[in-house]
């Protein structure tokens, strides 16, 4: 198994995703929120690129969720804060979601053989899912507006380490995956501090979402891995 890490969505073009297991990583906050929503019983999440598509896709009984500039979209039921989804109100509900980077990353990754949503919250479960599929792995850091975001890279480093540990052997990887694994090892003992002080963490904290940053920096809390199929993310059945 080989691991390739891509630093942001705009770089996906240069990589061949066909036949690979792809993890889209948007730690702050889209993929952390997706994991949280499935953990709290949402039946599935439909990721779409635009607000118009979200409104057109949602049917009676669905919930609309998402953000622009980190803020809830007017008229939507939920924003993109994982804390909003920690409620029984989403049990059994289909959530149609659009975010600036995370849902765009899922669309870009769709050429992969299997597309998962990865985060710090479910990193170990991600590694186990990838090993089960036995294909090469692409870790696609969503970034912010086509620029690398440290929190996504650190999560890619964490998943790389989990993959090595779970497989019990050295794995081939590109230079960026090796660099992110080293960065994670360097920073892991002060992860909360690192996420609060990176660009995305500062932006969210200034908007009053520091609690989200702390929540998204928790490691290996959940076993659920969202997997894309028929246009929706559901819990991967291991």
> How many whole angstroms separate alpha carbon 28 and alpha carbon 151?
7
Nearer to ligand MLT, 43 or 107 (CB): 107
CB atoms within 10 A of CB 72: 17
Nearer to ligand MLT, 21 or 100 (CB): 100
Q: Is 30 in the site for ligand MLT (CB under 6 A)?
A: yes
Binding characters for ligand MLT, 66-105, by CB under 6 A (x = yes): -x--x---------x------------------xxxx---
Q: Is 226 in the site for ligand MLT (CB under 6 A)?
A: no
Kindly state the tokens that stand for 210: 């520091």
> How many whole angstroms separate alpha carbon 141 and alpha carbon 105?
8
> How many whole angstroms separate alpha carbon 77 and alpha carbon 123?
28
Nearer to ligand MLT, 102 or 173 (CB): 102
Residue 179 DSSP SS3: helix
Q: What are phi and psi of 94, to 5 degrees?
A: -85, 130
Whether cis (ω within 30° of 0) applies to the bond prior to 177 is: no
Nearest-approach distance from CB 24 to ligand MLT, in angstroms: 10
Q: Is 119 in the site for ligand MLT (CB under 6 A)?
A: no
Closest CA to 101 of 182, 174, 31: 31
Nearer to ligand MLT, 67 or 162 (CB): 67
Written as one string, the DSSP assignment of 136-153 is: -EEEEE--BTTB--HHHH
CB atoms within 10 A of CB 107: 15
Nearest-approach distance from CB 237 to ligand MLT, in angstroms: 26
Nearer to ligand MLT, 15 or 203 (CB): 203
Token pair 């920096």 is found at 217
- Which residue in the set 20, 29, 108, 161 belongs to the binding site for ligand MLT (CB under 6 A)? 29
Q: Is 152 in the site for ligand MLT (CB under 6 A)?
A: no
CB-based contact 156:41 (threshold 8 Å): no
Nearer to ligand MLT, 101 or 160 (CB): 101
Q: Is 26 in the site for ligand MLT (CB under 6 A)?
A: yes
Chain positions 36 to 55 lying near ligand MLT, rule: CB under 6 A, are: none
Nearer to ligand MLT, 213 or 224 (CB): 213
Nearest-approach distance from CB 1 to ligand MLT, in angstroms: 28
Chain residues in the site for ligand MLT (CB under 6 A): 26, 28-30, 67, 70, 80, 99-102
């Amino acid at each position: 198994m080989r691991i390739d890490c891509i630093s942001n969505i705009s770089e996906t073009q240069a990589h061949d995703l066909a036949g690979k297991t792809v993890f889209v990583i948007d730690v702050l906050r889209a993929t952390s929120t997706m994991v949280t929503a499935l953990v709290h019983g949402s039946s599935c999440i439909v990721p779409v690129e635009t607000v118009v598509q979200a409104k057109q896709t949602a049917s009676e009984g669905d919930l609309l969720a998402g953000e622009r500039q980190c803020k809830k979209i007017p008229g939507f039921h939920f924003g993109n804060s994982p804390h909003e989804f920690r409620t029984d109100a989403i049990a059994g509900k289909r959530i149609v979601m659009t975010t600036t980077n995370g849902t765009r990353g899922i669309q870009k990754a769709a050429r992969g053989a299997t597309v998962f949503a990865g985060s710090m919250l479910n990193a170990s479960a991600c590694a186990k899912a990838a090993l089960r599929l036995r294909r090469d792995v692409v870790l696609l850091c969503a970034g912010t507006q086509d620029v690398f975001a440290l929190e996504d890279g650190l999560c890619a480093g964490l998943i790389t380490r989990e993959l090595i540990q779970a497989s019990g052997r050295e794995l081939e990887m590109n230079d960026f995956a090796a660099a992110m694994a080293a960065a994670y090892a360097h920073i892991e003992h002060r992860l909360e501090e690192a996420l609060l002080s990176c660009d995305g963490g500062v932006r969210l904290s200034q908007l009053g979402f520091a609690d989200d940053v702390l929540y998204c920096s928790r490691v290996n809390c959940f076993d659920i891995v969202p997997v894309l199929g028929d246009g929706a993310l559901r819990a991967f059945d291991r």
